[in-house]
Amino acid sequence: MNTVTCDNCGRDVPAGTQDTCPDNGWSFDPRRFGYYGGFDDNFAELLEDVAEVTMCHECVVSLIEAFPAFKKHVTRGGHPSINWNGEQPCTETKPCCNYCWGWSAEDRDDGKSTINTYVVNDAGEWELVRTHIQ
């Protein structure tokens, strides 16, 4: 399993979806914050081609919860309830955070499946938002 290191907490975390991006975390170029007066005058990365900040799931959740400016952009259902290496950070009764989504499938007698999609409600619990037959 490929891993990347969180620039904030230093933990190695799974990177199964893309080689340099943490599963259910953030990977972004801080130079995109930049403009005249945008705190980027002395970014060391400006002298190089590569600039990237990697943040694991837990650090992203801490950032979102600490600053409403981020929270207004990350709403319910922001990331899937699995890591792409097969880990299940959520359980049937407890979501990993308030921003994940999950699903379940039930086989039907007619050979089709009922697919249920869930997000986390204000009480921090799974809430069914969509059911369809596939």
Interface residues toward Zn ion, by CB under 5 A: 6, 8-9, 56, 59, 96-97, 100
Shortest Å, Cβ 17 to Zn ion: 14
Of residues 18 and 114, the one with the C-beta less far from Zn ion: 18
CB 14 within 8 A of CB 84: yes
Shortest Å, Cβ 76 to Zn ion: 11
Secondary structure of the chain: what % helix, strand, coil (to 5)?
15, 30, 55
Of residues 97 and 119, the one with the C-beta less far from Zn ion: 97
Q: How big is the CA angle at 85 (ends 119 and 58), to the nearest 5 degrees?
A: 55
Q: How many CB atoms lie within 10 A of CB 91?
A: 11
Shortest Å, Cβ 92 to Zn ion: 15
Of residues 87 and 106, the one with the C-beta less far from Zn ion: 87
